[in-house]
Chain A
Amino acid sequence: MSLSTAPLARAALRRHGGTSYRLAVAAAAFGVVVLAWAVAVLLVRGIGVWGNNQPFVWGFDLIAYAWWIGVANAASLFAAVLVLRRHGLRTAVNRFAEAAALAAVLVASLYPVLHLGRPLLAHWVFPLPMTTGVWPYFGSTLVWDFWGIVSHLVVTSLFWFIGLIPDLATLRDRAAREGRLGVARAYGLFALGWRGSLAHWHRHQAAHRLVAALVLPLLLSAQTVVALEFVATPVPAWHQPRLPLQVLLTGLPAGLGVVLALAAVLRGGLGIERHIDDADMDLLARLLAAAGAGCAALYAYDALSGLVLGDAATRAAYAARLSHPAWWGGLALGALLPQLLWWRRLRLSARSVVPIGLLASAGVWLDRWSLVVDGLDRAGAAYRPSLNEWALLGGGLALFCLCLLLFARHVPVVSMFEIRHEENEREREEAEA
């Protein structure tokens, strides 16, 4: 039996997507227009259009930031581990996991700029030789965060792009064969003159694995730095050494849930069930369930240390978080709901994995709300997100979807060269047998 990569290339080289594809792109594009409107309003009128106040100076901005970083992290952590372990599953899912990570980082990187009181001065966190002679304060967690998000963006895009080069060359060749020279040139530009020589393959493998190795510590650091922004303040619910680990691990269901849902949608939507097969889905779903189980254990530890082992201020702050529904929502959706995926029948049905994956992701969002808003339990006005904040949240989701839709349309969603490689391996094994 042989797997053909033709459907993957066909999906990328089709002149027109299907009607549902076009509808999806239109919906996502509309969402991006809403996002653009929200950003324009934000830049013109300032962040006074948000519902923040004293003491809730942060709200949807930091929740969304931490959440998107979590999505990106889990997705690219997953992909990087696959690359480094040369796991068979990687052939199927790593490409769109990487793409999801990249899109999530893109959306996340909006927030550190947009949430500033004076966003046009965001470049002041760069160590620029400005006439003021003032450098950034390198001890500030926000400066660490700036380097964290920039590195994340660079490395994630490199990781995704390096993996894509041989397939871009394939697309270039196929387009050229079909006589579509313009398309061929476009793909050729990004294929960086790939000719498939042994030397190319050798360097490509080295580069790919090198970047994958870079991704791992970076992912730990990116999420940790986000957590450190909270830890470095004396707010009792935030000033906890366990917070970086907690933020890092509870981020996993967010990304895995999104990747799982995406995989289910893609294999149905593009008709590539054979390339993302049941075994892939099975493994991915079990990973999400395991991440959920890990989160549940972490929640238990969190509650234990927050309510029993901590000092009086920690206990009071944790009890305050428990008195709001968001914490319980995070526990139920992010940790407990994925446990359903231990049932094989639920794992293999798109009807169950898509909602479970998305709800697990939403649960992590609630967990971030519980930390950012409910953790700041102080007397004063309540925090009520405004229309602009909802528009930014929805618009960010739309931007993420649009990126993925364009990706699914214009580049191979599953790594073609690796499938061919795997095919060759299998043929060799069969021949040897």
Chain B
Amino acid sequence: MTAGRPATDPTRRDALGLMAASTALALAGCDGPDEFGQPLWSRGRGAPDAASYATVLELDGLGRGVLVHTRAGHAVKVEGNPDHPASLGATDVFAEAAVLSLHDPERSRRVRAGGRPRPEAELEAALAAARETLRATGGQGLRLLTGPVSSPTLRRLIGQVLAAFPGAAWHRHAPLAEDAALDGALAAFGRPVAVVPDLARARAVLCLGADPLGAGPAQIRLARDWSEGRAAGRAAGALPWLCVAGATPGLTAARADRRLALPPAEVTRLARAVATALSVPGLAATAAHPEAGAIAARLRAAGPDALVLAGPGAGPEAHALAHATNAALGSAARRLVPSPLGGEGLDSERLGSERLGGEGKAGESLRDLVSSMAAGTVSHLLVLDADPVGEAPAALGFAAALDRVPFSLHLGPRLDATALAATWHAPLRHPLESWGDSLAFDGTPALCQPATVPLVASARDAAQVLLALLGHSEPEGGPKAGTARAAVRATWAGRWNLPADSAEFAARWEAALERGVAGEAPPALEPTPRPGWDTLRDPPPTDGLVAAFVPDPAVRAGEWAHNAWLRELPQPLTGLAWGNAALLAPATAAALGLRAGDEVMLALEDRRVPAPVLPLPGHAEGVVTLPLGGGRRVGEVAAAGRGFDAGLLRPADGAALAAGLTLHPTGRRAAPPLAPTARGQEEAPRLLAPGGSLAPPPRDASLLPDWPYPGPAWAMAIDLDACIGCNACVLACQAENNVPVVGPAAVAAGRAMHWLRIDRDVLGPAGGPEAAGRDPPATQFRPVPCMHCEQAPCEPACPVNATVHDSEGLNVMVHARCIGTRTCANACPYGVRRFNWEDHRRAVAGALRNPEVSLRPRGVMEKCTYCSHRIAAARAGAAAGDGPAGPARTACQSACPTRAIVFGDLADPDGPVARARRDGRHFLPLGQLGTRPRTSYLARMEGTAPAPPADGAPG
């Protein structure tokens, strides 16, 4: 060491040594203990170079089965797994967006200490040292902090850690956890249960602050069930009845027959009044509400097909009332199952519930952890796939408490706030690269297998870190003993009671991997309300407004803030993109003199945060909805500084509802980045009363002879009665067709590129004659792809034959011929054409790109192709006899949870499209223009059978 040089400064010799060491480590990583190479762990579905693999993706800790479509080893598209009960072949926006997160160039790639990159070996050494220290002390001061965990393997390993370190405890950070639901279940039944609604069966549904069709881990299945129930109702001439009471309009409220915009306290009063009207046994107090009689009559008439669902927009009292009311009604339209996020795999008798904070209420669990951290009793903290610094309520003071923890390791996919604040950070593998398992919302288990090679060499699974803590990390400890795959196999060998090396296990394991489902859902529980269940009381209403902290439709609690596809997606009801806003009722906004985009200072106790407001029709007065997850202070380009952070206001216990919010206009404008999606020519929404039908479209007079289509004539029919506006089709189209992200400025300028857009038509006082009298208004969602008109106005407009008709009736866009006159965009009355104002090719190129869809250069027009490459693949496959089975399916059609989109050959009289066109609800969009669109719609139905006579006073 040269004299005078600080001891910490590495010499050139040191630096070279470190470089050599890290190179050696990187090389060692290639054939290290973990699996590396082609992800062919199970037999793929489809052609070898374009196969799909079954796996599972989690949302809020619960799994949705998916098939990951790979091209030449790259995961390029996520489709639903038809065999998985939480997917049934469809997807949601988060499943579709997973491939973008996987390929995110801003993913964390390095092990870091104090935010600075370090060699991996240093982390291994630090973990080994920590293990020795903790062994000596019996794990005193060791705390695990995870997100919601349903994974049997992770739960088993957590149980092993807690058993090996008697002083350790497990805590949970789950900003969207429904603690009120847990309280309600404990009050009603004395045990935690999860409600699995059966919306296919339900004939009368009352939602109390619940949004079953809204985003969430059960959304795909619930939406599918709901649409099947509706289809059955349409066939039978009696539509199911849906009433939504709650403050924040959601996707369910948009489809409700009766919508009651009520603040949470009123929702609880309504719940009690309905229970009173239904004479629910065990009620400790009665209440009255003007709507209760009619609602109770509907529920009673439906008998076992009635269902009361309480959700995050209601307090624990309403949850308990919902359980009791369902029990009194004898509702068979829901199953009660053990909570997939609690109970199983952990020996809570032996470990003690105080150590299993991860099982209980998330708010309390995190608060207990923070108080221990602040008291200095936590010496080692492992944060596994959670971002408590960024997402936990600022009032909790997690970041300050973390400074008092001497050793903290954050394992996460991104360099978020926790990654930078913890002493150590290690990159986490993306679920599409890793081994694991998961339970669906109904408890169905599924295995998670890698669908691509790991894209970040130094990333590891959560299971690996727990195994390292248990001392199983050494490769020489046994063949692949420290790998996540080995851990998952061990879990399932145990659950199936089969030796891991038996042929029987191998067969079952392979079948589970191939099918994407590892077993059956657990049997339903049949608990009855315990006597004296009615003990919970929601806090009485206070002065000021109620703040409702809700998951953001794009970023949930913030974990999706990095995902540019989700950020750019116009949010279903608000149209917001790349940001958020405080939502309030138009009347509340008018009373305060606020317009959309005015900035207000939100204040709750001593916490203040400025935010733009957005009046939203159908929002309850007296409540302000604050979407979580905005305003990240650190993170990726897509995440940092977009919107405001409602976590700065949230109470320390992480409550979803908080009273006493005040709101002061600052006088500034902070226009929320509304996505001004251009629409086509306006057309009044069509609504049909039960049994009604539309006049068949008149055959337009044309002097031109009809063009013969000897082959298939592709066409699409979109059922507006089934569409819930979930946006899955929009993202599926974006992923499938290499549609670029253009960024907030271009979106604000009206240059978004989505090939498929969803128009929102407000039905209500301003929504046209058919919808007159609806108050609050409902929203109709109308997906608009290219219409592929037979008499397409865009085609004769083009001077260079860049948009022409093909022999199967597709309106095809020849990008190479386009010179960019944009005349076709003016000629299209549906407004579906998109112009490349900039060169977006670099943003889409790379492993994420679907190689079957060409990239479009600057200056050319593009639009929906009906996924013509899929049609071509199906044709080629049929010719070769080994292609994808069945007819071509468009990406939007595959994604749709409610199967609102059907696609096929119009010339086939028994085909789905021809059948849809014979439906009395069928209509051609802008039919008066004579364009003969191949895409057509089925009108939405409104109204149900007349209500049974309302019940009188409770007898």
Residues of A within 8 A of B (CB): 46-48, 51-58, 115-118, 121-122, 124-125, 132, 134-137, 139-143, 146, 229-230, 232-236, 238, 313, 376, 378-382
Interface-facing stretch out of B138-146, B824-832, B871-879, B947-955: B824-832
For A57, the chain B residues whose CB sits under 8 A away are 822, 825-826, 835
For B861, the chain A residues whose CB sits under 8 A away are 117
For B676, the chain A residues whose CB sits under 8 A away are 379-381
Contact of A142 among B681, B751, B818, B821 (CB under 8 A): B821
Per the 8 Å Cβ criterion, residues 803-861 of B in contact with A are 817-823, 825-827, 829, 831, 833-839, 857-861
Encode contact with A along B278-317: 1 for CB under 8 Å, 0 otherwise. 0000000000000000000000000000000000000000
Say yes or no: B796 contacts A118, CB within 8 Å: no
Q: Say yes or no: A137-B750 contact (C-beta < 8 A), given A229-B823, A381-B676.
A: no
| 14 further interface pairs, Cβ-Cβ under 8 Å (given A233-B827, A378-B679) | A47-B837, A53-B678, A54-B825, A57-B826, A58-B826, A117-B858, A121-B819, A125-B800, A136-B801, A137-B799, A141-B797, A142-B821, A234-B829, A378-B681
For B859, the chain A residues whose CB sits under 8 A away are 46-47, 116-118
CA distance A206 to B818 in the complex (A): 44
Instruction: Check: B128 CB closer than 8 A to any chain A CB.
Output: no
Contact of A381 among B680, B748, B817, B929 (CB under 8 A): B748
Say yes or no: A46 contacts B837, CB within 8 Å: yes
For B801, the chain A residues whose CB sits under 8 A away are 134-137
Instruction: Check: B216 CB closer than 8 A to any chain A CB.
Output: no
Say yes or no: B793 contacts A380, CB within 8 Å: no
CA distance A146 to B923 in the complex (A): 39
CA distance A378 to B838 in the complex (A): 23
Contact of B751 among A54, A58, A137, A230 (CB under 8 A): A54
Instruction: Check: B798 CB closer than 8 A to any chain A CB.
Output: yes
For B800, the chain A residues whose CB sits under 8 A away are 124-125, 134, 136-137
Closest residue on chain B to residue A117 by CB atoms: B820
Encode contact with A along B27-38: 1 for CB under 8 Å, 0 otherwise. 000000000000
A-B contact pairs, 29 of them (CB 8 A): A46-B859, A47-B837, A47-B859, A48-B837, A54-B678, A55-B750, A55-B825, A57-B825, A58-B822, A118-B819, A118-B859, A118-B860, A121-B819, A124-B800, A125-B800, A125-B819, A134-B800, A137-B801, A142-B798, A146-B799, A233-B827, A234-B681, A234-B793, A235-B681, A380-B676, A380-B678, A380-B679, A381-B748, A381-B749
Instruction: Check: B677 CB closer than 8 A to any chain A CB.
Output: yes
CA distance A233 to B826 in the complex (A): 6
CA distance A54 to B682 in the complex (A): 15
**Which 8 residue pairs spanning A and B have beta carbons closest together?**
A117-B820, A381-B750, A117-B859, A53-B750, A380-B678, A48-B837, A57-B822, A142-B799
Closest residue on chain A to residue B835 by CB atoms: A57
Per the 8 Å Cβ criterion, residues 777-796 of B in contact with A are 793, 796
CB distance from A46 to the nearest CB of B (A): 5
Say yes or no: A234 contacts B827, CB within 8 Å: yes
CA distance A125 to B796 in the complex (A): 14
CB distance from A235 to the nearest CB of B (A): 6
CA distance A136 to B817 in the complex (A): 10
For B752, the chain A residues whose CB sits under 8 A away are 54
For A118, the chain B residues whose CB sits under 8 A away are 818-820, 857-860
Say yes or no: B820 contacts A116, CB within 8 Å: yes
Say yes or no: A380 contacts B677, CB within 8 Å: yes
CB distance from A374 to the nearest CB of B (A): 14
For A53, the chain B residues whose CB sits under 8 A away are 678, 749-751, 837
Q: Say yes or no: A54-B835 contact (C-beta < 8 A), given A46-B858, A142-B799, A378-B681.
A: yes
For A313, the chain B residues whose CB sits under 8 A away are 681
CA distance A205 to B825 in the complex (A): 48
Closest residue on chain B to residue A141 by CB atoms: B797
For A232, the chain B residues whose CB sits under 8 A away are 796-797, 827
Closest residue on chain B to residue A46 by CB atoms: B858
For B822, the chain A residues whose CB sits under 8 A away are 52, 57-58, 117
For A230, the chain B residues whose CB sits under 8 A away are 826
For A376, the chain B residues whose CB sits under 8 A away are 826
Say yes or no: B799 contacts A381, CB within 8 Å: no
CA distance A48 to B837 in the complex (A): 4
CA distance A137 to B801 in the complex (A): 6
Say yes or no: A140 contacts B798, CB within 8 Å: yes
CA distance A80 to B789 in the complex (A): 45
CB distance from B798 to the nearest CB of A (A): 6
For A46, the chain B residues whose CB sits under 8 A away are 837-839, 858-859
Closest residue on chain A to residue B675 by CB atoms: A381
CA distance A48 to B859 in the complex (A): 8
For B793, the chain A residues whose CB sits under 8 A away are 233-234
Closest residue on chain A to residue B931 by CB atoms: A234
CB distance from B356 to the nearest CB of A (A): 52
Say yes or no: A379 contacts B678, CB within 8 Å: yes
Closest residue on chain B to residue A384 by CB atoms: B749
Closest residue on chain A to residue B793 by CB atoms: A234
CB distance from B682 to the nearest CB of A (A): 8
CB distance from A143 to the nearest CB of B (A): 5
CB distance from B759 to the nearest CB of A (A): 9
Q: Say yes or no: A139-B796 contact (C-beta < 8 A), given A117-B818, A235-B826, A379-B676.
A: yes
Closest residue on chain B to residue A313 by CB atoms: B681
CB distance from B279 to the nearest CB of A (A): 50
CB distance from B261 to the nearest CB of A (A): 25
CB distance from B818 to the nearest CB of A (A): 7
For A136, the chain B residues whose CB sits under 8 A away are 799-801
CA distance A48 to B746 in the complex (A): 10
**By CB atoms of chain A within 10 A, which of B680, B798, B859, B861 has the most?**
B859
Contact of A233 among B679, B823, B931 (CB under 8 A): B823
Say yes or no: B750 contacts A140, CB within 8 Å: no
Closest residue on chain B to residue A142 by CB atoms: B799
For A51, the chain B residues whose CB sits under 8 A away are 749
Encode contact with A along B746-777: 1 for CB under 8 Å, 0 otherwise. 00111110000000000000000000000000
CB distance from A94 to the nearest CB of B (A): 35
CB distance from B161 to the nearest CB of A (A): 54
CA distance A351 to B917 in the complex (A): 69
**By CB atoms of chain B within 10 A, which of A55, A235, A236 has the most?**
A55
Q: Say yes or no: A124-B797 contact (C-beta < 8 A), given A53-B750, A117-B836, A381-B678.
A: no
For A55, the chain B residues whose CB sits under 8 A away are 678, 750, 825-826, 831
Closest residue on chain A to residue B839 by CB atoms: A46
Say yes or no: B821 contacts A116, CB within 8 Å: yes
